[in-house]
Amino acid sequence: MAAPATGLPVVAAAVSSPAVGANAMSVIIARLKDYAGNVTKERKPWAEMIDRNSFSKPGSLAEATSRLRKNANYFKVNYLIVMLLTTALTFVMHPSSLLVLALLAGSWIYVFLVRTAPLQLGGRTLSDREKLMGMSAVSFITIFFLTSVGTVFFSALSLSLAVVAAHGAFREPDNLFIDEGETQQGLLSIFTTPVSAPVTGVSVV
Give 137-176 pLDDT, tens digit per residue.
Answer: 999 999 999 999 999 999 999 999 999 999 999 999 976 7
**Does residue 64 lie within any of the structural domains?**
yes
The answer as to whether 99 is a domain residue is yes
**Is residue 124 assigned to a domain?**
yes
Q: Where are the alpha helices (DSSP H) in the chain?
A: 7-40, 46-49, 61-74, 76-92, 95-109, 128-141, 149-170
Per the structure, the count of domains in the chain is 1
H or E element in which residue 125 lies: strand 124-125
In this structure, is residue 202 part of a structural domain?
A: no
The tens digit of pLDDT for each residue in 6-50 reads 544 444 444 445 555 567 667 777 887 887 777 778 899 999 999
- With vertex at residue 55, the alpha carbon angle to CA 51 and CA 61, rounded to the nearest 5 degrees, is 145
63 occurs within a structural domain:
yes
Q: 91: domain range? A: 45-192
- Residue 27 maps to a domain: no
For 104-141, write each residue's pLDDT tens digit.
Answer: 999 999 999 898 888 888 889 999 999 999 999 999 99
* Closest listed residue to residue 57, CA positions, set 42, 70, 47, 67: 67
Contact 67, 169 (CB under 8 A): yes
Cβ neighbours of residue 140 closer than 8 Å, sequence gap 6 or more: none
In a domain, 18, yes or no: no
pTM: 0.70
Whether 198 maps to a domain, the answer reads: no
